[in-house]
């Protein structure tokens, strides 16, 4: 008798308990933090350790928020993300590799501003728990750094003293809570 193959489990992002943030140096002396307010994502895995997980994610560029309306408008403009022409950023995984008891490297294709590049994020699995409604939740934190100019976000400002206004390096910090689907 042959063993039946395990069926995949689907998990979806719980936006009420998740944050999608980026951090970029301004004038090379301070950090500006931004976030996306509208996003969705799904993880499909067989088994409970997520080592075979397939991840897909998208965020609406129009939902960008840095806490400053004028800066948000500039980020949505053709100088940066060009939200009108490229309304979403997307990520589709190509591999998830277990690196420790609760850590992984998640590699995939990130598309921003119509440009797709491979990126690797470090992922820490915070564990699983049932909530008050009997739903199974899983928590993760993913971090990494990308170069914005590689994705066509090439706007540069220079101060009168010759300083850079916006760094090329952008740190990504995703705190994600997933809900297991029935």
List the single range of 13-17, 24-28, 96-100 with lowest mean pLDDT: 24-28
Give me the chain's average pLDDT, please: 88
Quote the CA–CA distance of 86 and 153 in Å, as a whole number. Answer: 12
Site of tokens 């100088």: 79
pLDDT value for 170: 87
Buried b (16+ CB within 10 A) or exposed e, 148-162: beebebeeeeeeeee
Cβ pair 94, 109 in contact under 8 A: yes
Q: Is the pLDDT of residue 162 over 50?
A: no
17-31, 63-77, 144-158: which is most confident: 63-77
Q: What is the pTM of this model?
A: 0.88
Least confident segment among 50-54, 72-76, 149-153: 149-153
Judge whether residue 157 has pLDDT over 70.
no
Average pLDDT over residues 88-99: 96
Whether the pLDDT of residue 161 is over 90: the answer is no
Domains observed in the chain: 9-180 (2.40.128.110)
Q: At residue 27, does pLDDT exceed 70?
A: no
Encode pLDDT of 57-75 as tens digits.
Answer: 999 999 999 998 998 998 8
More confident residue, 22 or 63: 63
């Amino acid at each position: 008798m042959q063993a039946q193959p395990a069926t995949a489990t689907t998990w979806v992002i719980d936006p009420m308990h998740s944050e999608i943030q980026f951090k970029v140096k301004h004038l090379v002396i301070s950090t500006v933090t931004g976030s996306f307010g509208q996003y969705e994502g799904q993880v499909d895995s067989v088994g409970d350790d997520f080592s075979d997980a397939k991840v897909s994610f998208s965020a609406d560029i129009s939902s960008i928020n840095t806490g400053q309306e004028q800066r948000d408008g500039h980020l949505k403009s053709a100088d940066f993300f060009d939200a009108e022409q490229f309304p979403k950023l997307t990520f589709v995984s190509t591999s998830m590799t277990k690196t420790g008891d609760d850590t992984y490297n998640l590699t995939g294709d990130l598309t921003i501003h119509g440009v797709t590049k491979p990126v690797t994020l470090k992922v820490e699995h915070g564990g699983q728990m049932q909530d008050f409604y009997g739903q199974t939740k899983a928590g993760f934190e993913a971090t990494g750094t990308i170069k914005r100019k590689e994705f066509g976000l090439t706007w540069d400002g220079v101060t009168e003293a010759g300083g850079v206004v916006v760094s090329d390096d952008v740190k990504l910090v995703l705190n994600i809570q997933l809900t297991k689907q029935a």
